[in-house]
Copies of this chain bind each other. A is one copy, B any other.
Amino acid sequence: MGASDGTPVAAGRGKRMPRAVREQQMMDAAVQTFARLGYRAASMDQIAELAGVSKPLVYLYLNSKDELFTACIRREASALVAAVQAGIEPGLPADRQLWDGLTAFFRHTAENPDGWSVLHSQARTHGEPFAAEVAAMRAEITAFVNHLIGDAAREARCDPHLADREVAGLAQALVGAAESLAAWANDTPGVSAKEAAATLMNFAWAGLENLMKGDRWSPSAAATSSAGKSR
């Protein structure tokens, strides 16, 4: 995804290069700039300079700032989804798949902080057209998690216990927790992707198992249950 520091993204600047390569350089520069400054604050001038090309060339290849941003979002979203899918072996049990997927997710976001920032922070704060792009990717991931939970539930023969909407909420919570942990892992020195994934599995899997068994936490029982514990 290009250098993560401030140096020019293009390898050989000023050279003639095939269009596809130039385009990638521009998008590398764009992702970096968007991630650090935000969509509005990033200027086409900066992006072109960082990419080592002239501004008109950026327009020639990518048409407009909007399209450039969209292209960045799509590229980064695809890369993320691909990385997660590559980490999973479909035949394995659900919890193992979840673990593998989370590990891949944390690894990828750690290695591509700018790309992740574009997806997580920037795309969602700049109006529908962009947010929709990310929502699509998120839906894909959420659907996969849905599946996983559903499979596990079926394995455990507890279909009736989980309504569709409940599953959707859980997936949402899981993804949110993962996103939050990704940021935390990136900001806290010494936290590895594996550790983040383990934390999340510990946090989530037992809850999911309980739910599948039909055990639910309920406010009315809180006093009792807690009292029981502290007894």
Contacts and interface: CB of A to CB of B under 8 A. Distances in A.
Contact of A205 (B175, B181, B207): B207
Contacts of A180: 172-173, 175-177, 179-180
Nearest to A124: B121
Contact of A177 (B94, B174, B223): B174
A63 to B, nearest CB: 14
B230 A155 contact: yes
Contacts of A226: 92-96, 152, 155
Contacts of A208: 203
A25 to B, nearest CB: 24
Contacts of A204: 173, 203, 207
Nearest to A96: B222
A219 interface: yes
Interface stretch (A1-9, A37-45, A69-77): A37-45
